[in-house]
Chains A and B, each alone.
Chain A
């Protein structure tokens, strides 16, 4: 079974040279730590920055320079700053190549829910609805099963939706899966030591298993 860091590491392998990438809060933020050497990517932070750098050195924090998770960060050579409307303009216009975000639930037709648990948790959607509605390439980083052992990959989402038919790839602690255009989770890779049977048990939605399923590799 993969740790959160290993999920991030696996997703980082999907990033190609020259990509502009938006990373959501949580596991997606960790992806920045694993971008392969020799690959040039520009990270977009939707509060208005292209070219997000690492955290500042102690004592060099700047209250005016934060990412979308409100963490203090730095800029890099080539960075640019812009307002919130332009930030979502470039997202809507599909200038951002890849969006990586977390989810509470994903359904077998590619719907995603990640912003609200009625009566319990109302934090808001932030930029997630804009991102999933417009991004041409979205990878979801999520836990396959919740703390109670219940699947979060469902036939149909039970929570209020963030977007419909928009998710194409999912990386969890158990597996890498594609969402098929006709519906269903196609198993592509399994985490080391995890059996297909266990992934099947942990997936409430339709799981499609065809041929040999290799173990995920991080190198």
Chain B
């Protein structure tokens, strides 16, 4: 067994330096690697290219990095919840590549599966298709989209073991497993870190071969963006 355990977020991100390309798991604020984001904010690393479905909110998640102007370029599908992001985008301070959500996920998948490119119909005939190769299969047009090439992938899992195996919980799974497969170096922060052997191999979502560093995170805030409830039945 290869031990992947590091002491915490600071050690896990120790070699992320200015200009790096990093993937960050999560959908909205659900399943984001809170500990590593906070460590990146503290480290003040700059000129980052961030690949993440969303850009956090103004005062949480990737929004904290945007506020400090640490991000040079965002590659995302939806950024609606972040006023500072929209300001930087419209003023031209931030470079942004908006791409369809399925394309984003599948470009991660391709990287983790060792495939250089994918073909998807998403974006055909729109500005997303500009400058891209189009191929026709069985009468339908598809865009060629390349696999991502990221220096680091940072993901959040529910449970993990010292061998780097990961299990995700509920819809906080989202982009985390596909990004975990896609990084040259993958960092996983988990709510509960256990010894190898304690997780049932049949229930592993991400095999440890994809994970290079793992640690048990702390003080998870797990902020809820839209708290929607119904009244209890009496």
Contact B230–A63 (Cβ < 8 Å): no
Of residues 168 to 215 in B, which have CB atoms within 8 Å of A's CB atoms? 168-178, 205
In angstroms, Cα B109 to Cα A75, docked, is 26
Which of the residues A47, A69, A111, A123 comes within 8 Å of B226, measured between beta carbons? Answer: A69
B205 to chain A, nearest CB (A): 8
> Smallest CB-CB separation from A75: which chain B residue?
B170
> Smallest CB-CB separation from B178: which chain A residue?
A85
Q: A46-B101, A61-B229, A127-B102 are in contact. Are A81 and B171 (CB under 8 A)?
A: yes
Asked whether A196 is an interface residue with its Cβ less than 8 Å from the other chain, the reply is: no
Total of A-B residue pairs, C-beta within 8 Å? 186
Which of the residues B89, B122, B158, B231 comes within 8 Å of A58, measured between beta carbons? Answer: B231
Contact B105–A163 (Cβ < 8 Å): no
Give every chain A residue within 8 A of B89 (Cβ-Cβ): 122
Contact A92–B30 (Cβ < 8 Å): no
Interface of B is mostly: loop
> Smallest CB-CB separation from A73: which chain B residue?
B228
Which of the residues A63, A89, A125 comes within 8 Å of B101, measured between beta carbons? Answer: A125
Contact A66–B30 (Cβ < 8 Å): yes
Of residues 62 to 118 in A, which have CB atoms within 8 Å of B's CB atoms? 62-73, 75, 81-85, 87-89, 91-92, 111, 116
In angstroms, Cα B175 to Cα A45, docked, is 14
In angstroms, Cα B234 to Cα A57, docked, is 11
Contact B170–A65 (Cβ < 8 Å): yes
Give every chain A residue within 8 A of B102 (Cβ-Cβ): 46, 84-85, 87-88, 91-92, 127, 129-130
Which of the residues B79, B81, B175, B232 comes within 8 Å of A122, measured between beta carbons? Answer: B79
For A55, A83, A87, A134, the residue with the greatest tally of chain B CB atoms inside 10 Å of its CB is: A83
Contact A130–B103 (Cβ < 8 Å): yes
A3 to chain B, nearest CB (A): 20
Give every chain B residue within 8 A of A92 (Cβ-Cβ): 102, 120-122
Contact A85–B105 (Cβ < 8 Å): yes
Contact B126–A122 (Cβ < 8 Å): no
Give every chain B residue within 8 A of A125 (Cβ-Cβ): 77-78, 98-101, 128
> Smallest CB-CB separation from A83: which chain B residue?
B177
Contact A123–B225 (Cβ < 8 Å): no
Asked whether A181 is an interface residue with its Cβ less than 8 Å from the other chain, the reply is: no
What is the 8 Å Cβ interface bit string for chain B, positions 101-118, against chain A (1 contact, 0 not)?
111111011000000000
Which of the residues A55, A75, A123, A162 comes within 8 Å of B78, measured between beta carbons? Answer: A123
Give every chain B residue within 8 A of A160 (Cβ-Cβ): 126-127
Give every chain B residue within 8 A of A180 (Cβ-Cβ): none
> Smallest CB-CB separation from B27: which chain A residue?
A47
Give every chain B residue within 8 A of A57 (Cβ-Cβ): 229-233
For B105, B205, B222, the residue with the greatest tally of chain A CB atoms inside 10 Å of its CB is: B105
Asked whether B223 is an interface residue with its Cβ less than 8 Å from the other chain, the reply is: yes
Asked whether A126 is an interface residue with its Cβ less than 8 Å from the other chain, the reply is: yes
Contact A122–B121 (Cβ < 8 Å): no
What is the 8 Å Cβ interface bit string for chain B, positions 59-97, against chain A (1 contact, 0 not)?
000000000000000001111110000100110000010
Asked whether A183 is an interface residue with its Cβ less than 8 Å from the other chain, the reply is: no
**Partner-B contacts on A (CB < 8 A):** 45-49, 54-73, 75, 81-85, 87-89, 91-92, 111, 116, 119, 122-130, 133-134, 160-165
**24 A-B pairs in the complex with CB atoms less than 8 angstroms apart:** A47-B30, A48-B174, A59-B232, A63-B172, A70-B225, A71-B226, A72-B224, A72-B227, A81-B173, A83-B176, A85-B106, A85-B108, A85-B178, A88-B105, A122-B89, A123-B79, A126-B100, A128-B100, A129-B122, A133-B100, A133-B120, A133-B124, A161-B126, A163-B126
